[in-house]
Amino acid sequence: MREREESEFTVLENKTIGRNFSMFRKLRDRKAMEVAEQLGIKEATYTKYERGESKITVDLIQKVAEFLNVDPIQMITAQPGNIIEHLTNSPFSISGNVRANYADKNQTEVMMKMMETMMQMNEAIRKILEGK
């Protein structure tokens, strides 16, 4: 019974991290094929990770995060419904029930640009604080 519970937990984590791979990839305006090429794997293999169908390793998280210029911890901990909170450190979040494909295309583009700008600002602030 214990082994079954761990396996279900792993699948849940893979799905969450896979969704984060997809979300951050889209925020960075990258195609799945580009990430796959960087990793040296086929696009179909990579998209299985995004769908949570393949086991995701720490090494894979590190490589994807590095390519997308995202903190690996965000890849693991970001909840898709609360991504704005993670990117901006603000209390604002999007309900998990909101679906981008139902939103107005222009509104979605504006949101994506805004989140990208906030990610760039956070990175700039981090560099200033680190003295780089």
Per-residue pLDDT of the chain (132 residues; tens, 9 = 90+): 444 444 444 445 888 889 889 989 998 889 999 999 999 999 999 999 999 899 998 889 999 999 998 888 888 877 655 554 444 444 444 444 444 444 456 666 777 777 777 777 878 787 888 875
For the chain, domains (ranges, CATH) are: 1-78 (1.10.260.40), 79-132 (no CATH)
Q: What is the DSSP string of 80-101?
A: GGGHHHHHH-SS----TT--GG
**pTM, two decimal places:** 0.55
Instruction: Determine contact, residues 72/103, Cβ cutoff 8 Å.
Output: no
